[in-house]
Chains A and B, each alone.
Chain A
Amino acid sequence: AQSVTQLDSQVPVFEEAPVELRCNYSSSVSVYLFWYVQYPNQGLQLLLKYLSGSTLVKSINGFEAEFNKSQTSFHLRKPSVQISDTAEYFCAVSVAVSNFGNEKLTFGTGTRLTIIP
């Protein structure tokens, strides 16, 4: 079974500073990797995903994540954060097989990003 570890439960960052949110996964088979964002009092929404190909994937609002197979990591980065980036960020993994029941998303415990003005 797959699992996801987000080591940092809270990350405070000053406005316009860079940030990295860490995510490590474990799986015995190939995986798809996702970052979801949850703004206050809302549901989760997809931020970006890695399926195959280029290991660096980007979102429309300046976030990027790099898939590192040797380190089993998928860290999320942004070079300059804004107040509007305040949210909780969840890393998730889905295994790349098609048997019944294996397409379940497994989430990490989340990282709360707080931007300090």
Chain B
Amino acid sequence: NAGVTQTPKFQVLKTGQSMTLQCAQDMNHEYMSWYRQDPGMGLRLIHYSVGAGITDQGEVPNGYNVSRSTTEDFPLRLLSAAPSQTSVYFCASSYFRANTEAFFGQGTRLTVV
């Protein structure tokens, strides 16, 4: 059972480039989300999805797009990378209930130069 798989683990981008961070889960979870982790700021929610075809913005959505065409996959797209998007990105999934455990991927460390 792989759980939540994120690719790539590391990425360096030049300012203005675009890329997609991949996230896949094999637990049939309805709820998936993307967070960014920055020193001293904890985890901040970027976007989330409550099921295929349904997404919504979190706390810090600017500069990111998401889509959810299947239950398993929830990619995060950076449209035009900026140095402020240098961060560690985590994908998480859970059943769609407030009292359930969130399962996290190993993270993607992104550097924008």
Contact = CB atoms under 8 A, between A and B. Distances in A.
B42 A44 contact: no
Most buried by A among B33, B92, B102: B102
Interface stretch (B14-22, B66-74, B103-111): B103-111
Assign chain A's interface to a size class.
20 to 34
Decide if the interface of chain A is mainly helix, strand, loop or mixed: loop
Interface string A24-40: 00000000101010000
Interface in A58-117: 90, 94-98, 100-110
B45 A104 contact: yes
Most buried by A among B33, B42, B106: B42
Contacts of B98: 32, 94-98, 102-103
A105 B42 contact: no
Interface residues of B, number: 26
B104 A103 contact: no
B99 A51 contact: yes
Interface of A: 6, 9, 32, 34, 36, 42-46, 49, 51, 90, 94-98, 100-110
B97 A108 contact: no
A1 B101 CA distance: 20
A109 B90 contact: no
A46 B102 contact: yes
A49 B48 CA distance: 22
Contacts of B50: 100-101, 103
Interface string B21-51: 0000000000101010000111111001010
B96 interface: yes
Interface string B43-85: 1110010100000101000000000000000000000000000
B90 A43 contact: yes
Contacts of A106: 45
B42 A45 contact: no
